[in-house]
Chain A
Amino acid sequence: MREPRWLPWARVIFLGLLGLFTLTPLYVMATSALKPLRDVQGDFSWIPVTVTLQPFSDMWRTVPLARYFVNSLVVASISAVASVVVAVFAAYAVSRYRFRGRRIFSVAVLSTQMFPGILFLLPLFMIFVNLGNALGVELYGSRLALIITYLTFSLPFSIWMLVGYFDSVPTALDEAAQVDGSGPIGALLRVVIPAAMPGIIAVTIYAFMTAWGEVLFASVMTDESTRTLAVGLQAYATQNDVYWNQVMAASLVVSVPVVAGFLLLQRYLVQGLTAGAVK
């Protein structure tokens, strides 16, 4: 490609500014987490005057961060795994069978993505309250309710990605497995899933991230004992004094699992998007 002479300069300047915009908050987060409280309350400084690891140990005591962390971990892990299992079966059906309603199913599932969360938040809240009353269990505020809800949030995108991955596995492979005596489910378990493993891992991490980061439903459907990080992190900010250094330390710590996962998944995600876009 013949590039005009100004382009390299434009590239450096534009990407530089974009990098600055993108990375400054991360820098602020990382450095402020290392400052003592008085240094985040006064005038801002780019370079920490005093460096301390105190915020990283204080943050567990100011709010019950460990409990929030465990809640998020339980909710996000279970909903991610369950979501992927459901998505694998659905995607296998869409990829391998030409059944009536196939298109409607794909479109209907994807279109749930456009519903404003606020629209089904209120009824879902009522459903869980009333269903819990009827069954005599406390569904509203329970982890189970949150797990089921988050499961469906990642489902549409997971199905869509997995269909792309399964389509790229040659059907000759699972036909061969079926000739060898496996049923269709056997072919799925023994041939298709192993061949599409990168996609399945990518989708699992995506589902985990979705549940880990959700705020709206977590703010309504949890109580003090089931509160997740999404809401719990705000507890630092509702006290009289805002412990900004601890907030930043906590933000950093809760980000590490998902950012690490995302960076591992990034390559697969691009592949998956590419596969999905071709269709």
Chain B
Amino acid sequence: MVVSTPSRSGAWRGAERGGGDGGGGRITRLIPVRLRRVGLPYLLILPAVLLELLIHLVPMVIGVGMSFLKLTQFFIRNWLAAPFAGLGNYRVAVDVDSAVGAALLHSFLVTVAFTLLAVGLSWLFGMCGAVLMQRPFRGRGVLRTLFLVPYALPIYAGVITWSFMFQRDSGMINHVLVEQLHLTDEHPFWLIGGNSFASLVVVAVWRLWPFAFLVLTAGLQNIPEDLYEASAIDGASWWRQVRTITLPLLRPVNQVLVLVLFLWNFNDFNTPYVLFGKSAPREADLISIHIYQSSFVTWNFGSGAAMSVLLLLFLLLVTTVYLALTTRRRIRA
């Protein structure tokens, strides 16, 4: 696609200059119009293509290149002078006996656990919410709008509020748990230590379940009402309708939704960064923030780039397998 764009739009521009809009007979005007129909779409997508190239594809290629370099702070301004490292950065990253590799593996496992929980709960809340609000009732519109507010809030505003609520001495969570419910006598820490993982999951679900809710609500609106009416005449129960109409017809929506939720959570940087600041606790050390730290705190860009490439390969693998499995099953069904 990228290769063919410049040549085609170039051909179109040449034709435009030659033909012009001005006039001539009907037959000469036909030629530029035909050429225009070929070239115009490429010219229309050109800005988008160039921008995607500049911000996404070129940096990605460079990133892969960087991962083979010994790129430390001495070479930031002149990174081509950095010595070649071969697979050295990768070897260190996957060597679980080294400190770097062990930390990366730990961070990876934390991210897997976090993603499974956050995606599962966000989807479940969104699904239950959307299905329970499928039938109109008084106040449904208002409730829908309120449910969407966490998704509408700027990430940092919502997450910083949570970090206030999780404060040990002045936070709302400990006030409820200790002073109001008397569940413990001690004020637990929520932003450091083992609890920080739970805090992270709660905040991520709070932020993302409204998105699942929004998408599934839109998906439900595409299910024809007469399907429910016909099955009700056949005496189908509510639960049976959910299982035989709602869930199967939402399948294409769910396929995309779960994938998007997975990718967002696995790559999530914003939530831990705002919640914990630059150094996330070990128990909540998500992979994005881990790579960020190993790059910008130690200024070892080569190693950070190698870890990023490994992350991308993993995401590509999971996405491909996921799409292959879910699509095939859909065809068989």
Q: Are A90 and B164 in contact (CB under 8 A)?
A: no
Q: Are B206 and A237 in contact (CB under 8 A)?
A: no
With A122-B304, A130-B79, A254-B157 given, is the CB distance from A266 to B148 under 8 Å?
yes
Binary CB contact string for chain B from 59 to 95 against chain A (1 if under 8 A, 0 otherwise) = 1101100100000000011010000000000000000
With A18-B125, A25-B158 given, is the CB distance from A120 to B55 under 8 Å?
yes
Interface size on B, residues (CB 8 A): 106
Selected interface stretch from B100-108, B112-120, B129-137: B129-137
Chain B residues near A45 (CB, 8 Å)? 175
Q: Are A123 and B263 in contact (CB under 8 A)?
A: no
Of B47, B171, B214, B260, which is in contact with the most chain A CB atoms at under 10 Å from its CB? Answer: B47
User: For chains A and B in complex, what number of residue pairs have CB atoms within 8 angstroms?
Assistant: 293
Answer yes or no: A151 CB below 8 A from chain B CBs.
Answer: yes
Q: Are B152 and A209 in contact (CB under 8 A)?
A: yes
With A109-B52, A117-B269 given, is the CB distance from A28 to B21 under 8 Å?
no
Within 8 A of A (CB), among B268-288: 269-270, 273-274, 277, 288
Q: Which partner residue on chain B sits nearest A131 by CB separation?
A: B54
Q: Are A22 and B52 in contact (CB under 8 A)?
A: no
User: Shortest Cβ distance from A93 into chain B, in angstroms?
Assistant: 4
Q: CA–CA, A149 to B296, complex, Å?
A: 19
Answer yes or no: B37 CB below 8 A from chain A CBs.
Answer: yes
Answer yes or no: B324 CB below 8 A from chain A CBs.
Answer: no
Q: Are A159 and B48 in contact (CB under 8 A)?
A: yes
Chain A residues near B77 (CB, 8 Å)? 129-130, 133
Q: Which partner residue on chain A sits nearest B128 by CB separation?
A: A14
Of A2, A117, A118, A230, which is in contact with the most chain B CB atoms at under 10 Å from its CB? Answer: A118
Binary CB contact string for chain A from 1 to 38 against chain B (1 if under 8 A, 0 otherwise) = 11110010011001100110111111011001000000
Chain B residues near A238 (CB, 8 Å)? 277
Q: CA–CA, A30 to B228, complex, Å?
A: 42
Selected interface stretch from B193-201, B234-242, B325-333: B234-242
Q: Are B301 and A126 in contact (CB under 8 A)?
A: yes
Q: CA–CA, A97 to B52, complex, Å?
A: 21
Within 8 A of B (CB), among A86-114: 86-87, 89-90, 92-94, 96-97, 99-102, 104-105, 108-109, 112-114
Q: Are B206 and A22 in contact (CB under 8 A)?
A: yes
Chain A residues near B218 (CB, 8 Å)? 270, 273-274, 277
Q: Are A273 and B215 in contact (CB under 8 A)?
A: yes
Answer yes or no: B15 CB below 8 A from chain A CBs.
Answer: no
Q: Which partner residue on chain B sits nearest A150 by CB separation?
A: B55
Answer yes or no: A194 CB below 8 A from chain B CBs.
Answer: no
Chain B residues near A248 (CB, 8 Å)? 161, 164
Of B41, B147, B150, B172, which is in contact with the most chain A CB atoms at under 10 Å from its CB? Answer: B41
Q: Which partner residue on chain A sits nearest B78 by CB separation?
A: A130
Answer yes or no: A269 CB below 8 A from chain B CBs.
Answer: yes
Q: Are B274 and A263 in contact (CB under 8 A)?
A: no
Answer yes or no: B292 CB below 8 A from chain A CBs.
Answer: yes
Binary CB contact string for chain A from 200 to 227 against chain B (1 if under 8 A, 0 otherwise) = 0000000001001101100110000000
Q: CA–CA, A220 to B288, complex, Å?
A: 14
Within 8 A of A (CB), among B245-303: 252-253, 260, 263, 266-267, 269-270, 273-274, 277, 288, 291-292, 295-296, 301
Q: Are B59 and A123 in contact (CB under 8 A)?
A: yes
**Residue from the list B55, B153, B169, B170 in contact with A152, Cβ < 8 A:** B55
Binary CB contact string for chain A from 246 to 259 against chain B (1 if under 8 A, 0 otherwise) = 01100110110011
Q: Which partner residue on chain A sits nearest B134 by CB separation?
A: A1
Chain B residues near A149 (CB, 8 Å)? 55
Q: CA–CA, A209 to B158, complex, Å?
A: 14
Answer yes or no: A262 CB below 8 A from chain B CBs.
Answer: yes
Answer yes or no: B192 CB below 8 A from chain A CBs.
Answer: no
Q: CA–CA, A112 to B60, complex, Å?
A: 10
Chain B residues near A2 (CB, 8 Å)? 232, 236-238
**Residue from the list B59, B160, B210, B295 in contact with A247, Cβ < 8 A:** B160
Q: Which partner residue on chain B sits nearest A39 by CB separation?
A: B170
Q: CA–CA, A248 to B151, complex, Å?
A: 18
Q: CA–CA, A212 to B155, complex, Å?
A: 9
Chain B residues near A151 (CB, 8 Å)? 51, 55
Answer yes or no: A65 CB below 8 A from chain B CBs.
Answer: no
A-B contact pairs, 30 of them (CB 8 A): A3-B238, A15-B132, A18-B128, A19-B143, A24-B165, A25-B150, A25-B161, A25-B165, A26-B150, A26-B161, A29-B161, A44-B175, A93-B42, A96-B41, A97-B37, A97-B41, A101-B4, A112-B56, A121-B292, A123-B62, A123-B66, A123-B305, A126-B62, A126-B66, A152-B56, A159-B48, A213-B156, A234-B277, A258-B153, A274-B218
> Besides the contacts A119-B312, A127-B59, A263-B145, what 17 more A-B pairs have beta carbons closer than 8 Å?
A4-B239, A19-B147, A42-B170, A43-B170, A100-B4, A115-B56, A119-B59, A119-B305, A120-B55, A123-B66, A155-B51, A215-B156, A215-B270, A247-B160, A255-B157, A273-B219, A277-B218
Closest 10 CB pairs of A and B: A262-B152, A93-B44, A123-B59, A44-B175, A97-B41, A120-B59, A93-B41, A101-B1, A251-B157, A119-B308
